[in-house]
Amino acid sequence: MKYKMVAIDVDGTLVDKNGNMAAEDVQAIKRLTHSCVTVALCTGRVVQATMPVIDELGLNTYSIFYDGAFIVNTCTKCELYSKPIDTALIREIVDFCRQNNTYIELYASGASFSPTHILGAHWSETINTDLLFVEHPRWSKAIHHDFFRIEPTVVNFDDIIGKKEILKAEMLVGSDDEAIQAKRFKDYFGDRFNYSIANSPAFRDVYFINILHPQVSKGAALKELIDYWGYPLTDIIAIGDGLNDVSLLERVGGSVAMGNACDELKQVANFITNTIEEHGVATAINSLFHF
């Protein structure tokens, strides 16, 4: 079978604990694009935090961001899909977190996009590509600044509710107390959100809980993307390592779990590759494609 597209997770799949990609992985992905195979990143990261990866890989097509809430071509700045959380639910989130002394982060896209292609300045030259709002800075500020290259903006949430489209809220769990708070949040809101749990090799003791519109997931976003291109699901490969990649791998004809993937993901994969330290992405690409 000749696969037409490869969808690849970022943290723990392409990007290691030091924030780097293996040269073997970069070369393998460039061989795909040079062979006219479409490569799309599918990440929980915001656009700005993903741009160094996109630049190094030389990608010029659509990718999935915010754990499936946003699809955009960072080269043309053409937005394909956006699914923000309803404003009324954002108000409920804020009220609940204030009442329960629970830390929450709100993310919105700050750049301007168009449904038509726009040629012009490179994405990294755009000011305020993504917006991360907090009411009170905390220990996670260093993670955002040092690793993901995004600065939190301290605001009163009342000033942005209804004025900014919030693509995701996020809780960071690094202690037992924070885990209790996250469970209390989920017990209260139930299935009114989709909860996507991610973990980065750089922060093994921290869990990133993305709180999304209930219809948002990486898998649902991939469906939007391949419908746009007209690719059959059987012609798609997906590679990932985390719980938030399950919906991605369940959708495609060729599902690849990293050697360092969680057990839940390995159970839905039809191919398990090497770990990220053993450049598992390159191993999978070289096994599934014959250049």
How many domains are there within the chain?
A: 2
Tell me what pLDDT residue 21 has: 96
CA 103, chain centre distance (Å)? 21
Q: Which domain holds residue 123?
A: 87-212
Q: Which helix (H) or strand (E) holds 27?
A: helix 23-34
What pLDDT digit, counting tens, does each position of 165-223 carry?
A: 999 999 999 899 999 999 999 999 999 999 998 877 777 788 889 999 999 999 999 99
Beta strand 166-173 pairing with 203-212: antiparallel
Last residue of a domain, one of 167, 193, 212: 212
Q: What is the arithmetic mean of pLDDT over 267-272?
A: 96
Last residue of a domain, one of 185, 212, 239: 212
On whether both 157 and 101 belong to a single domain, the answer is: yes
What pLDDT digit, counting tens, does each position of 95-148 carry?
A: 999 999 999 999 998 654 444 433 344 444 443 467 889 998 887 777 776 677
Domain with 145 in it: what CATH number? 3.30.1240.10
On whether both 206 and 93 belong to a single domain, the answer is: yes
Q: Mean pLDDT score of the chain, rounded to an integer?
A: 89
On whether both 27 and 68 belong to a single domain, the answer is: yes
Q: Are 240 and 233 contacting, i.e. CB atoms less than 8 angstroms apart?
A: no
On whether both 94 and 70 belong to a single domain, the answer is: no
On whether both 49 and 127 belong to a single domain, the answer is: no
> Using CA of residue 208, residue 209, residue 212, residue 215, what is the dihedral sign?
positive
Token representation of residue 237: 């490969």
Q: What is the arithmetic mean of pLDDT over 74-99?
A: 95
On whether both 251 and 183 belong to a single domain, the answer is: no
On whether both 112 and 61 belong to a single domain, the answer is: no
pTM for this entry: 0.90
On whether both 129 and 186 belong to a single domain, the answer is: yes
Query: For residue 210, which phi and psi values (nearest 5 degrees)?
Result: -85, 130
On whether both 43 and 114 belong to a single domain, the answer is: no
On whether both 14 and 121 belong to a single domain, the answer is: no
Last residue of a domain, one of 184, 212, 240: 212
Tell me what pLDDT residue 138 has: 80
What pLDDT digit, counting tens, does each position of 252-269 carry?
A: 999 999 999 999 999 999
Domain with 249 in it: what CATH number? 3.40.50.1000
On whether both 225 and 122 belong to a single domain, the answer is: no
> Using CA of residue 251, residue 256, residue 257, residue 258, what is the dihedral sign?
negative
| Terminal-to-terminal C-alpha distance of the chain | 13
On whether both 261 and 154 belong to a single domain, the answer is: no
Q: Are 8 and 53 contacting, i.e. CB atoms less than 8 angstroms apart?
A: no
